[in-house]
Chains A and B, each alone.
Chain A
Amino acid sequence: MATSKAVRLGRELRRGGILWIPFVPLLIFALAFEILPMAYIFYSSVHSAKGLGLHSYVQVFHSKYYVISLRNSILVSAAVGIVGLMAGTLGALALRSLHESKREKLLTLVNMTTNFAGVPLAFAYIVLLGVNGLITVLAKEKMGLDLYGMGFNLFSWTGIVLVYIYFTVPLAFMLMYPAVYAIGQDIQEAAEILGASRSYFWRKVGIPILLPSMLGSFTLLFANALGAYATAYALTNSNNSLVSITIANLVTGDIFPDPSLASALAVIMAAILALSLLINGKLRRRGGVGQ
């Protein structure tokens, strides 16, 4: 059977003849706008004004400014990833207590809010928490709370973290829901019948089941925050040093354009992203719960 199938497929292929033609334009587009640009970044990162070599990488790691912007990005993304993951996991767990039909509806609502990011999100937060924002003014007038007087500033790191958390929570919710769903009511009931207390169940069964998915989701949330650009750009007019903004400034900035340096930073960032995706893939294959 198997051989006859293979023979038939082989004959089909030869008879297919020109069936490979639709791949040509696809390949051209993928090369022109996806694969070659990536390759070009590699090339450009080792090809600076000084000629071929690792000059740009050396420059990145010897400059306080670039190291700090890398560190800032990693710290912000990690913090945002942890907070978002906690909120999203709690939300997904809480959703288990509802009926199936209600669950689906609420999930689509959460999914919808994942689209609320970037420039519109930053502006919504400015309306709420800007210097003359609705909450800022209300708090001052009604409760005597002067937010900005107390050191809060939306157009600073506080604001960036606050807004980043907002777009991370629904994503974490969507990522954790399948894993949480895999801890069926039956497992929990079985444990309870066998005399496990609720906290004992979560300590010994629930959390261990969730842990691989939580780690995997964290890497995705981290990667998403690391690559983000529009939100921070709209909020701080590119005055803070996050690596995505630094990279963009190095290419478009009129002051010191240095494409080789920008490419080196981009390669470093892509390496971090690839690493977190790799970890996520490993965890998914090994943990495999609810994915």
Chain B
Amino acid sequence: MAEVVVGVLRRAILAIGVGTLVAAILRLRGSGGVPPRQGSWRQLSGPDFR
């Protein structure tokens, strides 16, 4: 019984580890930074086009 529990735990830890590794790789590969999340729209006018 104890062996079964340990096996399940081992597999769960392995799954979490693999998931963390994949997430870390995806996180590192992600590009573009974080989009602006607070702010407002400003109308563009003449000086913005120079």
The judgment on whether A and B are partners is no
